[in-house]
Amino acid sequence: MSATATDAPAVRFAAACKSFGDTRVLDRFDLDIPRGEKTVIIGPSGSGKSTLLRILMTLEGIESGRVEICGETLTDRFDGVERAPRGRGRLRKIRGHVGMVFQQFNLFPHMSALENVACGPRLSLRRSRVEAEAEAEALLRRVGLGDKLGSYPLQLSGGQQQRVAIARAMALRPEVMLFDEVTSALDPELIGEVLAVMRELASETSLTMLVVTHQMGVARALADRVCFLENGRLVEQGPPEQVLDAPENPRTREFLHALNLA
Amino acid sequence: MDTIWNYRWLLLQGLGVTVQVTVLAGLLALALGIATGLARRGPPLIAWPVHIYVEVFRGTSALVQLFVLFFVLPGMGLRLDPMTCGVVGLGLCYGAYCSEVVRGALNNFPRAQREAAVALNLTGTQTLTRVVLPQALLVMLPQLGNLMVELLKASSLVSLITLADLTFQARSIMRLTLHTVEAMSVLLVAYFVLAQLISFGARALEARLGGAWRGRTEER
C-alpha cells in the first residue's frame, strides 16, 4: 500500500452531490472519517443517511464531487460526469475495503449460517473450503452462534440472523464496516444481542465503523462521533454527549425532541 | 383388449419415440429457455433478437413451426430427418415459453440479495451461479414442470410429420382395426402416466433443492 493510501482517511466525501429525480439527497456533502473512528449518523428519514452508506458500498453513484475509501477514489470523471470506476478489477478492489450489514439482514436463504459466513472468503478471497469454514465457525462463535452453524436463515430469529450477517461481513476482514439501520427491523428485546456484538466489534481499534440508526441508545453505545444529517447536509457533529445531550443546532434539538416524544 | 395386446410392440415402439422426442426437446427447451431468459437481461443488441425469437415462437402454432421445418426448409436446401425436425421444432417452441418463465423469475428476484452479493464482493458470474440461480430455479421449477407436461402432450404433433410416435401408432391401429375406443384409451392412459411421471420428477427435484431451507420455519 502506498504512503498516501495509509495516511488517507478511511472515508472521505468531498462536495458529493446525489439526487433521486428532483430530490437532492446529498448536497455538496463533506465528511472525513479517520481510520478506526466509530461514527454514528442520525437524522430524519430521507435525510440521506442510508444513501451515504450505499454510495460507499458502490450500490449507488454520485453526480458530482468526490468519494474516497482508504485513499481510493470511488468515481472516475469523464466528460465532467462522475461514473463508477472503469474496470471490474478496481471496483472489486474498492469493495474489498468495505463490508456492509443491512436492515433486513439479506442473508442467503439457501445457505446455512456457516455457508453464509464462509461464502465471501471462499468466493471472493478464493480461500479453501476448510480454511473458510474454520474461520466462519470462529466468527459465528464470536457472535454467540456456535450452536447454529447448520441452521438456515429461516430457522433463526431476527437477532440471530443479523448476528450471522455481521459475521458474514466481518469474514472478509474489511477496513470499513457499514451498518444500515441494523436494529430497526428487530423486536425490541432482540436489539440488545445485536448491539452487544457491535460493541464488541467497536473495541477493535483499527476497524472503522459507520453506523446509521434511529435508535439513540445505539448511538450512545457506539459513537466516538455523532453526525446529524438533514436534507443531504451535515447540520451538526460532535461527541455523542454533546450532540445528543446538548445540541447546539435548533434542527438537531427539534429532531431529538420529536424522538423523545415518540 | 386383444387388439392392444396384438399390437403391443408397435405401441411400445411409439411410446419410445414419444419419450425420446419429449426428453430431447425438453432438454433443448430448458437450455434455450435459461440461455435466452438470461440474455434478455443483457445489452439491447442481445436482448432484442432474443425478444423477437420468443415472440415469434410463442405467437405461432407449434404445428406450423414443425411444418415449416419439415416441408418448407427442404425447398430451401435444408433437409432434416423427422426426429431432428420434431426435437428442434418443439425445443424452439417450448424454449420460448421457458424463456419467459426464466425471465419472470429473474425479474422478480429480490434486489436485496444482489446487493448482499455486491457487499460480499462476489463477481457477476458468482452472483448468478451461487446466489441467484439456486433460489430462482426453485421459483421456476413448478412452472417449468408444467411446460414439460405441455411439451409431452404437444409431442403428438410429430405424428403429422411422419414420425411414428405413440399417437401415430395408435391412429394406425385405429385405421387398421377400427377399434377406436381401445386405441384412444391406450393414448389417454399412456399420456396421463407420462405426465404424472414428469410432475412427480419436478416435485421431487423441488423438494430436494429447497427442502433443506424452505418451510421449516417452525424449528426456531
CB count in 10 Å sphere of residue B100: 18
Confidence of residue A2 (pLDDT cuts 50, 70, 90): very low
Tell me, what's the pLDDT at B38?
94
Mean pLDDT over B91-100 rounds to 97
Summarize pLDDT for A122-137 with one digit per residue, the tens.
999 999 999 999 999 9
Question: How does strand A64-69 pair with strand A72-73?
Answer: antiparallel
Tell me, what's the pLDDT at A262?
61
B130 inside 8 A of chain A by CB: yes
Q: Is the pLDDT of residue B89 over 90?
A: yes
Mean pLDDT of chain B: 92
> Cα-flanking dihedrals φ and ψ of residue A57, to 5°?
-85, 5
- Cross-strand partners of A39: A210, A225
The CA-based dihedral angle spanning residues A68, A74, A76, A80, taken in that order and rounded to the nearest 10 degrees: -70
Please report residues of A whose CB lies closer than 8 A to that of B141: none
Summarize pLDDT for A16-29 with one digit per residue, the tens.
899 888 888 998 99
Q: Best residue in B109, B111, B114, B120 to probe A by mutation, most A CBs within 10 Å?
A: B120
Tell me, what's the pLDDT at B117?
96
Q: Is the pLDDT of residue A1 over 50?
A: no
> How many Å lie between the alpha carbon of A242 and the closest alpha carbon of chain B?
33
**In angstroms, rounded to a whole number, what is the distance separating the alpha carbons of residues A116 and A155?**
14
Confidence of residue B219 (pLDDT cuts 50, 70, 90): very low
Domains annotated for chain B, with CATH where assigned, are 2-209 (1.10.3720.10)
Please report residues of B whose CB lies closer than 8 A to that of A111: 213
B199 inside 8 A of chain A by CB: no
Domain spans, chain A: 109-173
Query: How many residues are recorded in chain B?
Result: 220
Confidence of residue A10 (pLDDT cuts 50, 70, 90): very high
A124 inside 8 A of chain B by CB: yes
Confidence of residue A80 (pLDDT cuts 50, 70, 90): low
Sheet with A23-33: list strands edge to edge. A23-33, A11-20, A64-69, A72-73
Q: What is the DSSP secondary-structure string of B58-69?
A: HHS-HHHHHHII
More confident residue, B216 or B29: B29
Confidence of residue A81 (pLDDT cuts 50, 70, 90): low
Mean pLDDT over A8-14 rounds to 92
Tell me, what's the pLDDT at B218?
40
A174 inside 8 A of chain B by CB: no
Question: CA nearest A165 in B: which residue?
Answer: B116
Tell me, what's the pLDDT at B45?
94
**Residue where the block lists cell 424522538:** A259
Q: Which amino acid type is present at position A37?
A: E
Please report residues of A whose CB lies closer than 8 A to that of B114: none
A51 inside 8 A of chain B by CB: no
Radius of gyration of chain B (CA): 21
Tell me, what's the pLDDT at A73?
87
Question: CA nearest A126 in B: which residue?
Answer: B122
The CA-based dihedral angle spanning residues A148, A152, A153, A157, taken in that order and rounded to the nearest 10 degrees: -50
**In angstroms, rounded to a whole number, what is the distance separating the alpha carbons of residues B17 and B2?**
23
Tell me, what's the pLDDT at B211?
73
Q: Is the pLDDT of residue B6 over 90?
A: no
Tell me, what's the pLDDT at B13?
95
Please report residues of A whose CB lies closer than 8 A to that of B210: 110
Nearest beta carbon to residue A120 from set B120, B123, B215: B120
Mean pLDDT over A183-212 rounds to 92
A130 inside 8 A of chain B by CB: no
For helices B82-107 and B133-154, the axis angle rounded to 10 degrees is: 140
Summarize pLDDT for A151-177 with one digit per residue, the tens.
999 999 999 999 999 999 999 999 999
Tell me, what's the pLDDT at A46?
80
ipTM of the complex: 0.90
Q: Is the pLDDT of residue B135 over 70?
A: yes
Summarize pLDDT for B150-200 with one digit per residue, the tens.
999 999 999 999 999 999 999 999 999 999 998 999 999 999 999 999 999
The percentage of residues in chain A with a pLDDT greater than 70, rounded to a whole number, is: 92
